[in-house]
């Protein structure tokens, strides 16, 4: 089937391409609808723990979308679509406001919220975060934004003023998926960040506590020299947990310790701990 594009030009799509474009626009329309409706979007929380004491150090907010007919759609699918449309800003703000409102009542030290490179390019981004903090009464010192290093490098000029404004009010900055972007180690010193999150792919490669991972050791040495905290993400096995703890990684996050959970479930964890 031919599709008309502009004046007198036709683009011929092969069937799978056409399907994926239709699927993309269905997801885009569905997401627009979800943002205007109650109950389709939800925030899950995945705790992260001190490697040494096993005390909960914080939790990461992770968006979930319960589509009325498609079921639960993964953020790995709809976040990139939201980023390529104008939906990531309202989606990201919704997540941050919902999470700050919920976490304001919890004895949680740190709430981490993922922020897209597209949001960071908006010159008003920091002010939007401050407005959310004002509305929810959430203490900026308890908020951490997770940004990817790629977004950092590609948009340094635009995102730096936002990050500086956030840090000036006490908001923490974490570099997410660390190690997957280019020139990570060489650029680390020039980023104004508080924490790095070692990407799951490196953690996944740890076969045994003895063999460990030379790459992770190098990242931990560098973080130590730069005074940064480190979280390892995607910790699934006891061997990974042991190696990371021995090697001096501060915090662990992964299915071994806790899965992402609805707010009622994490609230119940706090209630249990208090009794
Ligand atoms: P991320 O920020 O790197 O989040 C970690 C992802 O790894 C989450 O997937 C989490 O559920 C998953 N995970 C945690 N522990 C384990 C483990 O032990 N094993 C495995 N295999 N996976 C684990 P999720 O929730 O599907 O989110 C995927 C990505 O979508 C996130 O990666 C983040 O980049 C993006 N995302 C999620 N929520 C938001 C949001 O509110 N805003 C933005 N901009 N992006 C978001
Ligand atoms: Mg993250
Ligand atoms: Mg990550
Ligand atoms: Mg990741």
Question: C-alpha distances in angstroms, 85 versus 29, 64, 89, 148, 227?
Answer: 10, 18, 10, 19, 37
> pLDDT per residue over 195-246, tens digit each?
999 999 999 999 999 999 999 999 999 899 889 999 999 999 999 999 999 9
Strand segments, DSSP code E, in the chain are 2-4, 10-12, 41-50, 56-67, 71-73, 111-114, 143-148, 172-178, 195-198, 229-232, 251-252
Q: How many CB atoms lie within 10 A of CB 103?
A: 26
Ligand number with the minimum distance to the CA of 258: 1
Asked if residue 7 has pLDDT above 50, the reply is: no
Pull the structure tokens for residue 102. 């919920």
User: How many Å lie between the centroid of ligand 2 and the Cα of residue 77?
Assistant: 15
Q: Are strands 2-4 and 10-12 parallel, antiparallel or unpaired?
A: antiparallel
C-beta of 30 in contact with ligand 1 (< 6 A): no
C-beta of 236 in contact with ligand 1 (< 6 A): yes
Asked if residue 89 has pLDDT above 70, the reply is: yes
Which letter does DSSP use for residue 190 in this model?
Answer: G
User: How many Å lie between the centroid of ligand 1 and the Cα of residue 75?
Assistant: 7
- The whole-number pLDDT of residue 192 equals 80
Pull the structure tokens for residue 241. 């947990």
> pLDDT per residue over 112-162, tens digit each?
999 999 999 999 999 999 999 999 999 999 999 999 877 777 677 788 899
Those residues whose C-beta lies under 8 Å from the C-beta of residue 137, and which sit 6 or more positions away, are 104
Asked if residue 184 has pLDDT above 90, the reply is: no
- The whole-number pLDDT of residue 19 equals 58
User: How many Å lie between the centroid of ligand 3 and the Cα of residue 113?
Assistant: 11
Ligand number with the minimum distance to the CA of 146: 2
| Cα angle 98, 110, 65; round to 5 | 35
C-beta of 234 in contact with ligand 1 (< 6 A): yes
Reference 198, options 167, 160, 227, 228; nearest CA is: 228
| Cα angle 59, 260, 176; round to 5 | 55
- The whole-number pLDDT of residue 70 equals 86
ipTM of the complex: 0.98
Give the three-state DSSP class for 158. helix
Residue that the structure tokens 């001096």 belong to: 248
User: How many Å lie between the centroid of ligand 1 and the Cα of residue 236?
Assistant: 14
Q: How many CB atoms lie within 10 A of CB 193?
A: 21
């Amino acid at each position: 089937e031919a599709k008309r594009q502009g004046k007198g030009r036709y683009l011929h799509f092969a069937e799978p391409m056409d399907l994926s474009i239709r699927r993309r626009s269905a997801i885009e329309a569905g997401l627009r609808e979800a943002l205007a409706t109650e109950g389709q979007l939800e925030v899950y929380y995945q705790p992260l723990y001190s490697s040494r004491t096993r005390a909960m150090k914080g939790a990461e907010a992770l968006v979930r979308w319960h589509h009325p007919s498609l079921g639960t759609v993964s953020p790995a699918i709809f976040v990139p679509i939201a980023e390529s449309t104008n939906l990531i800003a309202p989606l990201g703000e919704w997540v941050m406001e919902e999470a700050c409102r919920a976490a304001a009542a919890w004895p949680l030290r740190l709430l981490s919220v993922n922020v897209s490179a597209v949001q960071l390019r908006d010159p008003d981004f920091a002010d939007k975060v401050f407005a959310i903090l004002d509305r929810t009464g959430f203490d900026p010192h308890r908020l951490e934004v997770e940004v990817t290093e790629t977004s950092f490098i590609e948009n340094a000029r635009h995102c730096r003023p936002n990050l500086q404004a956030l840090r000036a009010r006490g908001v923490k900055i974490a570099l997410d998926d660390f190690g997957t972007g280019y020139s990570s180690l060489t650029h680390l010193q020039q980023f104004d960040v508080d924490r790095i999150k070692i990407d799951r792919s490196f953690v996944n490669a740890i076969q045994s506590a003895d063999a460990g991972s030379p790459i992770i050791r190098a990242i931990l040495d560098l973080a130590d020299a730069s005074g940064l905290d480190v979280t390892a993400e995607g910790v699934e096995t006891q061997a990974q947990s042991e190696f990371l703890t021995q090697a001096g990684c501060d915090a662990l996050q992964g299915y071994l310790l806790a899965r992402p959970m609805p707010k009622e479930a994490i609230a119940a964890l706090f209630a249990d701990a208090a009794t």
